Copies of this chain bind each other. A is one copy, B any other.
Amino acid sequence: MHSLHFAAHVASQDVLERSFTLGEIPGVLWSPLSPVPGVPLLLMGHGGGLHKRAPGLVSRARAMVIEQGFHVAAIDAPGHGERPRSAQDQRWVDSMMQARAAGESLAPSIAAYNGSLVERTVPEWRATIDAFQELPDIGREAPIGYQGMTLATAIGISLAAVDERIRAAIFGGVFVYDAVLAAARQVTIPIEFLMPLDDAEIDRASGLKVFDAFASVEKTLLAFPGSHFRVPAAQLDTRFFARHFNRVDAVAG
């Protein structure tokens, strides 16, 4: 088992940002400058083709640290960000691009590519959680949440299905294929599902289908006009993680 190696620390605007590697997995951990022991850890997945420092992700991560006092972590999925893309992954990407250019369905390529990425990334997230739980300023008591759309949802649903350390999750905007539905049926934690209502590549019916599949007693569908490229975050903010991690008082005063 690899252990966490921290490469660079930068502190700005009350956020400590630490780059790390865990074996071949590169990641970033954003933390309060003086974290209270036991504060929650939020895992943030990046979308397909993006990476751990995509601007939207960084902005959401920093906001969670500043506004809620959480730790937030992101890692690059295989073939994303700093990680080399394999020849097989390149073929899947090429076939997606060809399908999109030809106006054909992306579904077959995405099901295969996402499926493979899920298989590879779920164990990496689990190893990353193991390593964080060894850190003195996170430890085993910190409640853990997961948030991410598109590819990050495909990965996150499977992660939440197999790792009970994930206690609450925000998913959304995912390509739906059988393995996603099968994993969703294993998920019982509270979830929110963000659904773009006018997405050229993911229709409403498939969004509703995966939402229905979750076994969670508490699940909420937050839907908005437009595509998954523009999520109106403020309009959809129910203080989900703060509520589930019993921190609403700290936020709402």
Contacts and interface: CB of A to CB of B under 8 A. Distances in A.
Contacts of A197: 208, 211-212, 221
Contact of A220 (B192, B218, B219, B223): B223
Contact of A219 (B195, B222, B225): B225
A235 B221 CA distance: 10
A87 interface: no
A204 interface: yes
* Identical copies of this chain, number: 2
A234 interface: yes
Interface string A198-227: 000000100010011000001111111100
Contacts of A204: 208
Interface in A223-253: 223-225, 232, 234-239, 243, 251-253
Given A197-B221, A237-B239, A251-B252, 9 more contacts: A197-B211, A204-B208, A219-B224, A220-B223, A220-B224, A220-B232, A234-B243, A252-B253, A253-B253
